[in-house]
Each structure stands twice: as structure tokens, then as C-alpha cells.
Structure 1
Amino acid sequence: MTALNSSPVVAADEIAKLCYERFNELPRKGKPEPGREWTPLAAVVKITRCAKSDIVEKEVVSIGTGTKCIGRTAMSPKGDVLNDSHAEVIARRGCIRYLIHELHRAVTGMGSSVYCQSKHQGKWRLQPGISFLFFTSHTPCGDASIIPINGSHLQPCPSVSSVNNDKGTDGRGLKRKAEHLISLQNSKRPSLEEKETEETKQEGLYVSKRASSSSTVGDEPPQSSSAKTHQETILHSSAELAENTSSISNVNQTVCARQNSPVYDVLRTGAKSVPGGLSDPLQPGAGYHSTGLLRVKPGRGEPTLSLSCSDKMARWGVLGFQGALLSHYLQEALYFSTVVVGKCPFSQEAMQRALITRCSHVSDLPAGFSVSPPVFLQSKLEFPFSQAQTELQHKAGQGCVTPCGAAVSWCKVPDQPLDVTANGLKQGVTKKAMGTAKARSALCKLELFHAFLSLVSSTEASVLPDSLRRNDLHTYLDYKEASETYQKAWQLLRNQAFPLWPRSDRDLLLFK
């Protein structure tokens, strides 16, 4: 924990440095192999503003890394497998572990550094001066990663309105609008040469110093950077990162020079639009993507059912990041006040569009819920295990640069704070242990549900929230659906902003 002078705005570099240092303190298990494996980092930081001084304490309470998702057929009806192991999701789930632990301390009279009692029966709220900040070393996958290059002043892609804002359409009207915008853009944009390579067509005009290895890898889109070329120095500490980093080129300068005119394009995302809605036009250059679409993360071979991190973070901005179960106990939803992004391709406009604008019109939310847009900041400090830094450190004989297969979680809880997984299960689990508690991640639905049930059983009946004073609550689904105000807010968000958000298979939520 660090004690820092209060300032009107959170210092992005300070937050990035704090998160990188906390990651460096973790054991080696599950971390990428330097020079060969890369991964993004995400974290939740608790901010404490002291009432009687100008001191602001900043403490990392959850860390997550990871790039993988499991396919739909690997999803377990027992809730014992992690479906989505992207860093942002891992960090948020670790934070939920931390919040459940703090609530357990609160309801048992041990004292919590997070919660205080609300005036409403059985409800709790954040202590005065407490807030939470979200850090991610890379722009969230999905819509926020569709970033214009070499022409950021232009609209990069045809924007898709919400169904709510296009009353009377059945989807075909929206598609026609998108196609019309694409046509207009193509008429104003310099055309690409017919001899442009297939790689350039598919991956856009972003190539790093190791161009042959910068195409989409595995489950995570490539980490690309700005359009100017600079010499990079391999850095090993946050302090060195602060002093020495500069942008890595991800624009194919040969192609640009060949055209004798600016090339307008966008960075690609590997996430695909959800079934049933509009698809990406896949036109060359800036017409490749449509913006505003819900997207599903790619998997290795088999499709996944995991929505992109952009979509999930947009949802957290309305429903809160606490989820349905914790909403039983909380007077108000919990929102991230700030989102800090590390040094990487970044666009304020893309972040605003993906995480805020799509939900800004949602109305009539129940008490305790609101559209709560965070402040977006970017740090100049790059994560040492980013793809770009890993490619710079790569040496001959190390094999291909590849995303790390493991996901690391750490959160501030006394019991097993470190959790390392691969393919949705504990890393290194043996066949004999498959299907047992030894194979389960502490972040899987079943384990978080059991932690919540322990919280419920530790709460005295006289102060139990009204929504939990029922005799018909047995399964994970029962407890989620009993959180009625959360479910009402989610239904309004779905109806007004995300009507194509895939619904969970109820058969995967019936575990106890």
C-alpha cells in the first residue's frame, strides 16, 4: 500500500507502476517465459481518500493475466471450469473474491476496510472515501480495440446504432445504413493497390519490427502500437519504462510509401460479431470492421460463448462489477471510477464509444443502479510482458513468440490468494484429480458460489437481506435470479442497449 498526496486526477503512470510492481512480487508460477511468451495484465486498485488529511492511499487488491477462453463444449454444468480467462475478467473475478471476504469480515463483526452498514435492513455500502479503479495494460478486446491509424480524425468504421434507437427496423435497416457508410468511406479513401498481400488485407496495416509474427495469435488480437517508428530499448523495470519507452511502429511503411498518399485503416480485433446481428463488412482498410457490435472472443478452433472484454466492461458500467450475488448485500452497485490503460494502441474515442456511448441512453434503472461512466486515462508505461516488448526481447532459438497459456490471479484474501490456471482448471492438475476440488480454480462459478454461501451462513438471521430470506433458494441460478433489482437492471440494459447479448444456458447454472 502506498500513501500519496491527493490530486484532482489519478496519475496514470503511478497506477501502472503500482500494478506492475505488484505483479513482479508474485511467484514465478504461471508467468510468461521472457522473450517468448506474452500476456496482458489487469488489476483492481482500491482508492482510499482520508477524510481529515490530503492523503490518498492506493492499494492493488486484485491482479489478473491471461488470453484464453474455452470452447462451448468444454463448459461444465458443474460450474467448476473457468470459461473466460482474459486478464480483465480474471482481475474482476479476483476482486469479487476480495469483496466477499471483506463482507464476511463485516457481517461477523471483525471489521472491514471496505464496507459500512447501510440504513436499510441487511444492506451494506462502501465506506466514505473508498472507490475502485480498474487498470489494464492493453486496450480491452472487442469494440474498444477498433482504433483508427493514419487518419484518426476520420470516422474509422461504419457505426451501428442500438436497436432501441432504430425503432421499426428488424436489423436489415441497420445493415443497409452500415453498407451505405462503407460505400461513402470507400469513395473518399485512397484505394489500396490490387497487389496488396493477403496478410495485409486480413490484418490491416499494422506490423511490428517482427512483422511475420504480428498477425492475430490464439485468442487475443495482436498488440499494435502507433504509426511512428522509433528505436525501442528492452526495459526490465517500471522506472526504466518511465524514462525510456517510445512508440513501436505497427504501420507497414513500405505499403504506405507505395501508395504516394496516406493510408487510412483501423487496428483489427479478433473478436467476432455475435450471431443474429450485423457482421463486419471486411472491406480493405477502414471498412474492415463495423463499430458498436457485440463480439464473441475467439477460441482455438471451437467458437466460444464469452463476450469481448469491451462488452463486459460496458455492462459493468451500468450493472456494476459486483455481480448478481453480491447485489443481495449491497445498497448500491459498485462502479469503477477510473479506467487506466497501459502504453499500447489507445483511442479515447474508441474507449468512449465501446464502454460508454453504447449504454448512455439506458434509463429507468432501479434504485442503486445508474449509467456510471469512468474516466479514461493512459499511462506511458508499457507492461514488460506485452507482445511488443516480448518481440523485442525475443532471441533466435527461443521458438515462436506466443501468448502465455496460463492465467494468473492474485487477490488480497488470506486463504490461497494466488490462483494459476490453464484451460479453465488449476495449472498442472493430474487426470486423477479431474472433477475434484483440487482441479478447480478459486475463481470458477462453483467456488465463488460456495464462498457466497459461506457468507450467507455466517450472517445472523436478524440482519440477513430480505431477498435471501426464502426457502426456495437452492441452486446458483436460484440465488442469481433472487437478486431482483440486479435482474431488473440487467433486463433494462439488455432491452435498451444489448438485445443480442446471448443468454446463458440455464442447464449450466443449476449446480449447488
Structure 2
Amino acid sequence: MADADEIARLCYARLEALPRRGRPEAGREWSLLAAVLQTDSVKTEVVSLGTGTKCIGQSHMSPNGDVLNDSHAEIIARRGCIRYLLQQLHRAVSGGHSSVFCPSEEQGKWRLQPGVSFLFFTSHTPCGDASIIPMTDSPSLPRPPVASVKGREGTGAGGDLKRKSEVPSEGPHTKLARVDKPGDGRDEDRGQRRHKNIIPLKFITGAKCVPGGAADPLQPGTGYHSTGVLRVKPGRGEPTLSLSCTDKLSRWAVLGFQGALLSHYLQEALYFSTVVVGKCPYSKEVMHRALVTRCSHVTDLPAGFSVSPPELLQSSLEFRFSQAQTELQHQATQGRISPCGAAISWCNVAEQPVDVTANGYKHGVTKKVVGTAKSRSLLCKLELFHSFLSLVSATEPSARPRSLRSSELRTYWDYKQASSSYQQAWQQLHSQAFPLWPRSDRKLLLFH
């Protein structure tokens, strides 16, 4: 079993070793951290790290693939890992040594080196379904209990608790429901404080139910949320098309975290053997429901894919830039506490390992360069696609996977669809577990 505290310690130390650019201002800004770690019989090391709290709205998405849509830390860490895996495959196909891959029995395909596996760390419970936690399951809270509301009469619309008789006396299970995530309870938290409504028993999430399915009842207490449903992340002022981090982690537990493009080269999908969560409000039972149970019944997956639930662990070490720690360190002269607007990516690659972004673009770019290569994050779809095409070009034509030998492959969409085994696995997951998962607009995937 992995040592959860040692995993957290490695991740926090990796961030501290990076340049300060993009890092939250202590006592005023907070953020989230996630990382991918590679382990073998000799060592465990961080190969990709991300911080971030933001998503861009639907109207800001680009048909050119040059904007980073989702900058939550978990997504940043996974996309940085894709950069790392692309470089490792590039070394392998070029005849060099890869610490990750070795040739498989199938022509043009690769598999993990014996003993190599990957772990995932996140400093906070992932947004979405995993953040809907019964208060009795979470002994640690980011702030003290909120005093009960007294002397309020009448019941407002939407099941608001206003009658004194309906408000439980203050105790261990009557704390204000909230989570330590941007747009994942913060807006509700403010609303509850503003309208003096208390939602006992649960942490809540700002991620919204996907259209076409169950909606949140928004009733007091345990009736506030529907559980087990897909959710999209809230943006700043408009909806997004980004599924919650909980949903994406559960998807990776069936399809692998390598994605469609890398699946061309891999004999088997890559799965996280372990998911470690830092010190924060957390319920292992809820995490299991959200990440494992929802997909445990999926069958008829093609060769190389399987339902691969990770081991779930929690560390006792808290991220020093968490919202709770930021509130403890805050000085009155620092102004309002807010989530950090920048997202940091670091991955174990030879060139440009650090990538700092804000609002979907490289941090600090001016409007003059938006739309050019200077503005692009190295994690955006277009940059990762170009890295993949470089890998294909470096592979001798006779050594390429059969799925990449067609002369009709042109666009990002073409290459994703040509990964037939991955698409078959996705169809099984979609039909059996996630029928309401929104399909990406093809118009946003036709770049090359």
C-alpha cells in the first residue's frame, strides 16, 4: 500500500521547488494542487503537477484548439502527464531508453515497463459528486460551525429554513455545508450566509447536473443534492462544457487516463493504481460511490480496457495554499481572500517543463498576441496534438500502429476517431454508465 503522507509530501515539495510565478499570494489567495506520480520497485517520483481553480465559459471556447478550457488542478496534472508520456514514447520509437515503455507483442504497440505504475494525488476532494459528503462522515472542517439562526419566522420559497423550530441547535452536525473549491460551493456558501439559510448534514457542490437528467431538489439538509449524477463545472458568469473532476476521474478508471491519441500506441490503457486526497473534508464511502460504484457494472470492453478502480487513501497533510490555511494566515490589510487566477503546470520533460496559464492562455500575454503560438498553453488541445503528430513523424512508417497508416487522417477529430478500441470502450461506458455525458461539438475538434 502506498504511504499517503509520503505521496502528499512529495507533491508539496515539488511545488515548493518551482519558480514563484503563478503561485498564490500567501494569506490572500488560495488554490488546489494535483499531481501524477510514477512508481516502480526503486522509487516514487512526481512526473506531473498542476495547480488551478478555474474554467472558461462556453462562449470562450475556441474551434482552433488553442485555449485551455479546464484549469482545475486535476485536469492540469493529467494533461501535463500526457506531455510526459508523449516524450517517453518519442524516446522509445526513436531507439532511446524510456523509463515508462517497452515494446509489446503487437506491432507498433507499447506497454508499461515491468513494475511501473501511476498514482494520482489531489489536495482536495474532487469537485462534483465526490464533494457531496454527509457531515457525519467528515471530522475535519475548513472553518468553525456557523451559529444557528434564531428568531426567524415563516418558510420561504425553495425550502429555505427560516422557522426557529426548523433550525437544529448548534452541534457537531449543524455546520454550514460548504466545500473548498471555486464555484463548488463558494457561491452557495455566500448565498446561504446572505439569506441566513442553513443546510445541515452535507457539503455541497457548485457543479450543476447535466441537462436531461435528475436535477438537484435544493431542499434543506440531505435533500439538497441528487447524488451519483454527472455534473458540469460552473464558470464565471456563464455555463461551461467541462465535466466535474469526479466524473473525469471515474471515466479514467475505465478508459484510462492516456486518452484517445496515445491509445493508438498502447497495448493496454493506463490506469491510476491509487488516488490519494490531502487533508480536507473527505469521505471514503462517498469517494468510492463517485469514482468506483457508478462504473463498476460496465462490461464488454475491448481488449486492453477494463474497469480498474483505484485504491482510495487520504493523507493527514494539508496543502499550505488551501482556502482554510489561507483564511488562517490572512491579514486585514491584505484585502479580500480570493482563488488564485493562475494555473501552474510542471511535468518531467526536457524542454519547457513549466507552463503558467490564466483565462485559458499563457499567463501575462497581451491581446495583441492572442491567437498566435505565443499565447498558447503547452497543455491546450492544439499543442498536445502537434506533439502527437511529431511522435507519429518520428515513428518509421513500417513501425507505426495500423490505426495510424491511413492517408485520410487530417484533423484532431480524425485521429481521435481512428483510435477504434478507445472509441469502442467509450461507447460501452457511455451506454452503460454515462448516457447523459455531453458529446463535444465536432466543430471544436476540426483543427490540424
> Is the shorter-chain TM-score for this pair beyond 0.5, marking a shared fold?
yes
Secondary structure in structure 1 of the residue aligned to 2:37: strand
The equivalent of 1:428 in structure 2 is: 364
CA offset at residue 479 of structure 1? 0.1
| Cα distance change on mapping 1:293 and 1:338 into 2, 3 Å | same
Is the Cα contact below 8 Å between 1:35 and 1:401 reproduced in 2?
yes
Is the contact made by 1:69 and 1:219 (CA closer than 8 Å) also made in structure 2? Answer: no
Alignment of 1:474-489 (within 5 A): 474-489=410-425
Which residue in 2 is equivalent to 1:62? 48
Partner of residue 336 from structure 1, selected from 264, 272, 290: 272
Aligned: 1:464 with 2:433 = no
Q: Equivalent of 1:102, from 82, 88, 91?
A: 88
Report the counterpart of residue 149 of structure 1 in structure 2: 135
Classify 1:105/1:345 alpha carbon distance in 2 versus 1 (closer, same or farther; 3 Å): same
Cα deviation per residue 1:349-375 (whole Å; 9 max; x = unaligned)? Answer: 110010010000000000000000000
Matched, 1:265 2:201: yes
Which residue of the partner structure matches residue 32 of structure 2? Answer: 40
**Distance in 1 separating the partners of 2:109 and 2:51:** 32
Q: What amino acid does structure 2 have at the position aligned with 1:117?
A: P
The answer (yes or no) to whether the contact 2:127–2:181 under 8 Å persists in 1 is no
Classify the secondary structure of the residue corresponding to 1:268: coil
State the 1:150 CA deviation.
3.3
Structure 2 gaps, min length 5: 140-159, 168-172
Post-superposition Cα deviations, 1:207-233, rounded to whole Å, max 9, x if no partner, equal: 59xxxxx78875344599xxxxxxxxx
Q: Return the alpha-carbon distance in structure 2 between the equivalents of residues 152 and 498 of structure 1.
A: 28
1:354 aligns with 2:318: no
Return closer, same or farther for 1:430/1:63 CA change in 2, 3 Å cut-off. same
Between the aligned partners of 1:42 and 1:215, the Cα distance in structure 2 is 17
Q: Give the structure 2 partner of residue 16 of structure 1.
A: 8
SS in 2 for 1:94: helix
Measured against aligned partners, the alpha-carbon deviations of 1:445-502 in whole angstroms (never above 9, x if no partner) come to: 0000000000000001111000000011000000000000000000110000000000
The 1:290–1:264 alpha-carbon spacing in structure 2 relative to 1, beyond 3 Å, is: same
Q: State the Cα RMSD in Å.
A: 2.5
Query: Structure 1 stretches of 5 or more lacking a match?
Result: 1-8, 50-55, 154-190, 199-203, 209-213, 225-251
Seen in structure 2, the aligned counterparts of structure 1 residues 215 and 141 have a Cα distance that, compared at 3 Å, is closer
Distance 2:313 2:137 in 1: 21
Cα distance per residue 1:40-97 (max 9 Å; x no partner): 1000000011xxxxxx301100000101000001000000000000000000000000
Report the alpha carbon displacement of residue 265 of structure 1 after superposing the two structures with TM: 1.1
Distance 1:465 1:151 in 2: 48
Q: Does 1:137 align with 2:106?
A: no
Alpha-carbon distance between aligned partners in 1 of 2:65 and 2:443, rounded to the nearest angstrom? 10
Output the CA distance in 2 between the equivalents of 1:112 and 1:216.
Answer: 38
Amino acid of the residue matched to residue 219 of structure 1?
G
Look up the equivalent residue of 2:62 and give its one-letter code.
S
Note if 1:313 corresponds to 2:249: yes
SS where residue 243 of structure 2 aligns? coil
Count of residues in correspondence between the two structures:
418
Shift of the 151–333 alpha-carbon distance from structure 1 to 2, 3 Å rule, reads closer
TM-score by length of structure 1 reads 0.78
Is 1:119 paired with 2:55?
Answer: no
**Distance in 1 between the 2:95 and 2:174 partners?**
58
Opposite residue 194 of structure 1, the aligned amino acid is R
Deviation at 1:286, TM superposition (A): 1.2
| 3-state SS of paired residue (2:77) | helix
User: Aligned partners of 2:179, 2:39: CA distance in 1, in Å?
Assistant: 38
Partners of 1:432 and 1:346 lie apart in 2 by: 44
Match of 1:441 in 2: 377
In 1, are the aligned partners of 2:30 and 2:323 still within 8 Å (CA)?
A: yes
Distance 2:187 2:13 in 1: 21
Shift in CA distance, 134/222, structure 1 to aligned 2, threshold 3 Å: farther
Structure 2 partner of 1:493: 429
What is the rounded CA distance, in whole Å, between the counterparts of 1:388 and 1:426 in structure 2?
Answer: 28
SS of equivalent to 2:356: strand
User: Any idea what the Cα deviations from partners look like across 1:267-300, whole Å, max 9, x if unmatched?
Assistant: 0011010011110110101110110010000011
**2:78 pairs with one of 89, 92, 102:** 92
1:285-304 aligned within 5 A: 285-304=221-240
- Identity value in percent: 69
Residues 223, 411 of structure 1: alpha-carbon distance in 2 compared, 3 angstrom cutoff: farther
Q: Which amino acid aligns with 1:474?
A: R
Contact 1:29–1:420 (CA<8 Å) still a contact in 2? yes
Select the residue among 47, 59, 72 that pairs with 2:58: 72
Which residue identity does 2:37 align to in structure 1? V
Contact 1:70 1:424 in 2 (8 A): yes
The answer to whether the 8 A contact 2:138-2:281 is kept is: no
| Matching residue's letter, 1:337 | S
Secondary structure in structure 1 of the residue aligned to 2:332: coil
- Counterpart of 1:368 in structure 2 is 304
1:266 alignment partner, SS class: coil
Pair 1:219 & 2:216 matched: no
